[in-house]
Amino acid sequence: MVEKQTAGRDHLGKLAPKFAELNDDVLFGQVWSREDKLSARDRSMITIAALFSAGLYPQLKAHLEIGKRHGISKEEAVELVTQLAFYCGWPKAWSTFPMIEEVWGSEEA
């Protein structure tokens, strides 16, 4: 089950309240909760791939953490980044592997 998201309101609630509402209630509320259509784990894999390809590292790290909570293993994260390196860029992989190490720590890959 997808947990209630408050990052939009926490970080942008005063500056951009409508954006924060859409982030928390629509994207993470209505879209991510459609687990009968696509699991939260699969949504995390897709989101990680999209953020990796765009080089959006602050959001990527956050979604690696979310992906871990949704059941993505360290080994799967490493394999995902290795696959994406060939399609999206080798330097992006070099930038992402340290994030995987931070998120999963010393867990076996």
Find out whether 47 and 63 touch, Cβ atoms under 8 Å.
yes
DSSP notation for 26-88: IIIIIITT-TTTS-HHHHHHHHHHHHHHHT-HHHHHHHHHHHHHTT--HHHHHHHHHHHHHHH
Q: What is the pTM of this model?
A: 0.89
Residue 2 has pLDDT above 80, yes or no: no
Q: Which residue segments constitute the domains of the chain, with CATH numbers given?
A: 1-37 (no CATH), 38-109 (1.20.1290.10)
Model confidence pLDDT, tens digit, residues 32-53 = 999 999 999 999 999 999 999 9
Q: How would you classify residue 3: left for phi > 0, otherwise alpha for psi between -120 and 50, otherwise beta?
A: beta
Residue 93 has pLDDT above 80, yes or no: yes
Model confidence pLDDT, tens digit, residues 18-35 = 999 999 999 999 999 999
What is d(CA 47, CA 45) in angstroms, rounded to the nearest whole number?
6
| Nearest of 57, 38, 109 to residue 79 by alpha carbon | 109
